[in-house]
Each structure stands twice: as structure tokens, then as C-alpha cells.
Amino acid sequence: MSGFDRAFSRRRLLGTGAALAGGLTLGRTARSTAARALAAQEQITLQVYIHANNPLDSVKPLYEAKYPNVKLNYLEQSDMAVFRATLAANGEGTPDLLRPETNDVQDLGKTGVLLDVTDLVEKHKADLAPGKLAECFIPATGTYAGFPAEIGAVGLYYREDLWQEAGVSVPADWTWDDYIEAAKTVKGKTGAASFAFPSSGDNQTALLWTFVMFQLGGSITNADGTEVTLDDDKGIAAMEQVKKIYDADVSLDEPPFEETYFQALVAGQVAGAPLPVGYRGFALEPYVKDEQGGLGQWRVALLPRPAEGAVRVASIGGAALVSTTYTKYPQEVKNFMELALGTMEGATACGEWGVVPTFLPYLATDSWRNARSEPYGDFAFNAVWTEAVNQFPDTWYKQPVFAEALNELGAQMMPMMGGEVEIAAGMRTVGDRVRDLNARYQP
């Protein structure tokens, strides 16, 4: 090697070493600056009221990784009475985030105590299911008081093996009357029930009526909650359809969300029922473990129609994510709502848990379309739920009186089912009672 070559090589080596040293120094300086900046950030803890076994469990690690200065303290609390008590105490102890049903959103939203998230909802509005947007919109204020969470779509769950054993199948389109006849055959051949219809006389007794009413385009009240509509022609028609189901003697007299019904399912006594999308996550997957319970045989289809032109989906509600004006961290709260419910990352986490996210772009992904679950075997159940979302209307309003209305209706339904009370008269009686209750929610 010549002197020039040796000199050049040495200069190049020295230059490279100097650059490396400078880069390391700059790297250490940058990391040190970032560390000091992070340390200077306020360490925040958001208090979150949430019920156990929830899709937002999957979002927590995503949020804390993206916002390392914020921790989420999940408190297993689903009792709205506890939350309302904190409001009555001038906000002392009020959580930063909670996940109520939309009738509570409507009730509290009218008072102005919920954080206005209109800016955030408007930012993502084009990507959110319209039916859920309507449930979070407060007509009296013209604002959104919550960010829509999952879509509580209801479809027809059924066991393909029991239906095949009975020699019946699910057609591409049919009516509830068609389904009743098929259910009679299934029960005669297998002994299994095709509805959950508890005679307990409470809100779960009224659940089946809400499904049919939703399909007919009915509602408990009008959009702003000022008028009770449950006893209109649609409400009466829905109850007449429910009586046909009751008279067919194809139902299991158990509430569908209780342990007794789950055990009947495990024992092979359930051939089907109209149930919400989340049923997979909290009933089928935890309980269906063998052939007797239908492992690999469960399917879901769109609902039969109660009338020509009726939609083939119903709703059980579905929650929203809200905060209050008492929170000290409105931006951090909105960041959580956005990540959980307005991004592909959050929607994927929630969708894989087992609900239908309101974030529509996610429903077009392979992750959503190709999901599988052991109770379903290789059946692509999410194709059905996507179509259900496409049919989901925005005319079913869960205004503040909703829960009380279902309690009143459930208490009066069994006399109507048994024929002691004529349906139109019974519905008018319930309607008048609910109108009295609803007066409390008016300005």
C-alpha cells in the first residue's frame, strides 16, 4: 500500500470513528432529552368504569403503549346507580371513562353532564355505522354525548346438526311464521327449543318483542323521546307475532343470558334462538366444548322477516363510550375513544374479542372476514354480521324511558300471551303507563 493509500485509509478510518462518536453522542443526547421530556410529562391515571370480560380489555395495552404517560385503571363497575351517585356528589369520584347503554347516554346527555365529543365523532363520522351514530346524538342539544361502541346486532343462531336431524334447513329468505313451523318440526324430532322466552314477567320477557318491533321499524319512543310510540300499529303487530311464537310451544322458558340457559345449551336442549352477536363471546365459546353442546355445529343467519319489506336484523342495544364534564383529562379521554373505536388497530382488537365494531373499514378486512371460532367450526359467521350492519336502520331509539318501558311491558306480557288480555288493549295500557313515566324526562 502506498503512502497515499495508507494516509487515505487512516483519514477515512479516523473520519468514520469521529462520525460514529458524534452519532453516539447525539444519540445519547436525544435519548436523554426524550427521557427528560417524558419525565416532565404529567403521569396520568384514567379511572374507567367497565364490566368484566369486555372488548375494551384488548385496547388497554394498545393505549398504554401509545401513551406511556397515561395508565388506565379498570374498575369492574357496571351499576349505573353507583355512577349517578358520584354525579350527585358534585362529581367526587366520577370516573373518566365509562361504557353505558345508549338510553343512559340520552338521559345524561340532555343534562349537559356528559363530555361533548362532537368534534371527535364528526372527524370519524364517514367511517361509523349510521345506526349507532343516531343513538349517541342528543337532539335537544345538537351534540354527540358519546362515541358509538359496538353494534348490538341480533341474528338467528341455530345448530345445523339438529336441524339436519329434523330434516329442515334455513332458506335464503323466510318469515317468522315459516320459522315457527320449522321449529315445531325440530322440537318434534329432537326435543330442542328454538326460542328463549322466559315467563318471568320482567324485561327479558319483553326482549323478543323488541326484536320484532325493531324489524318493523317501530320504537319505544320517537327520536327525541317526547312521544311514546310502543303501542302504535307496529308495536301491536310485533306483539301479535310474539304471541304466535308463544302459542307454538317451541320456546325454552329461561332467560337467555343466565346460567340456566347456558346449561340447557350445553345439554343440547337449544336448537336455535334470535340472539345478539356478542353471544359467541360470552356464551358459545365459554360453554360449548363437546358434541352434545354442538361444538363445530353452530351457525348464524339473518333473522326471518315479520312482514314483507321488513329488515332481517334487530338490535339489543350496544354501548357507547362516554366521559363527563368533571374529567380533568378530556384530551386523554378522547384519545382513548379514538384509538379504541375510530382506528383500525382498536377495531381489530374489539372485533377479535367478539363484537361488531362501528368502524366500517374494519368490516372490509380479511381479519374480520376470515375470523373463525370453535363452536362454529369453519363457518364464516362474520359475513352474516356484515350484512346485518348493512341493513341496520337508524330508527330504533333508546331514549331515557327505555328500560322502564321494558319492565312495564314484561310485567304485562304474560296475560296477553295467555289470552286473558286482548293485545291491542294490553298495549294501550302499557303505553299509558310508560307515558306517565316518560313525563319525568321532559323539559
Rounded-to-integer distance, Cα 403 and Cα 406, Å: 5
Query: What local confidence, expressed as pLDDT, does residue 132 receive?
Result: 86
CATH 3.40.190.10 maps onto the chain at 44-151+317-369, 153-316+381-441
Rounded-to-integer distance, Cα 243 and Cα 423, Å: 9
Cell numbers representing residue 167 in the block: 330434516
Rounded-to-integer distance, Cα 297 and Cα 142, Å: 47
Domain at 153-316+381-441, CATH from 3.40.190.120, 3.40.190.10, 1.10.10.10, 1.20.120.160:
3.40.190.10
Range 66-96 burial, b when 16+ CB lie within 10 A, else e? ebeebebebeebbebeebeebbeeeeeebbb
The end-to-end CA distance of the chain, in Å, is 95
Are 405 and 230 in contact, with CB atoms under 8 Å apart? yes
Rounded-to-integer distance, Cα 348 and Cα 288, Å: 24
Are 216 and 237 in contact, with CB atoms under 8 Å apart? yes
Residue ranges in the chain modelled with pLDDT below 70:
1-41
Query: What local confidence, expressed as pLDDT, does residue 248 receive?
Result: 98
Q: Which CATH code fits 44-151+317-369?
A: 3.40.190.10
Query: What local confidence, expressed as pLDDT, does residue 252 receive?
Result: 98
What residues are paired with 138 via a beta bridge? 143
Place of cell 320459522: 179
Q: Would the CA dihedral through 29, 32, 38, 39 be positive or negative?
A: negative
Q: Would the CA dihedral through 204, 209, 215, 220 be positive or negative?
A: negative
Query: What local confidence, expressed as pLDDT, does residue 15 receive?
Result: 38
Rounded-to-integer distance, Cα 264 and Cα 60, Å: 34
Query: What local confidence, expressed as pLDDT, does residue 395 receive?
Result: 79
Query: What local confidence, expressed as pLDDT, does residue 41 receive?
Result: 66
